[in-house]
Structure 1
């Protein structure tokens, strides 16, 4: 399914209105737990050619994380089919789409804990794919923390 949200100009007010105090407390606790594993950084990749290797590394990690999730669920992995990974990598490296394609990730230390690819068009953000790793960091909510940052920056 798809969701539409008007985020307004005041992220903190929206976040406070839409999330209960207990949920906000749990999310702060999980963020502190993530920080125990290394510096937590939100990274956006939408610049020039110098970021191509980072864009590729981020997308490759996203594909691998999604593949692990599909395997856990026992469902077909579309990224194993010919052309799917190449399509996303090609779009992400197309200089003509730099202002539209938005790739981001949440780094914890040296690890990409969560990643996403979306589109930015006419003051709207469209989340296409998102992922998080299933390792030790998974219990700390890296996917939720990454989505929180995406919404805050949307």
Structure 2
């Protein structure tokens, strides 16, 4: 199943809409609650990063039988130093974004903590692509 959502930079009133919609789909697929929670936290963090830092972005969600792959591709300033951006507390958020309660520098670290595989690629002046993969736990066998 492939889903695609547009994310508008600067639109904090809609930040979280994509992760909420994906959460509904995952619940309908009867995934376990802990896996859904991990996916939604990581997706929310990526979504807020687009809203806070980029002009626009697209979230592509590929749900396979054994995993989910989420790709967030944005048009924005890019990340000059990915290793630095991965450090907890490092932030390039504007004062206005911080005043709204965002930009604490936990987005990328929280993504890394909640997915099985995280790939961050960025070109300064063009944008960032984040690929997050989360494997689903094997179904438990019914015991008689």
**Please, what TM-score do these two structures have when normalized by structure 1?**
0.29
**Please, what TM-score do these two structures have when normalized by structure 2?**
0.30
Q: Which has the higher helix share?
A: 1
Q: Which has the higher strand share?
A: 2
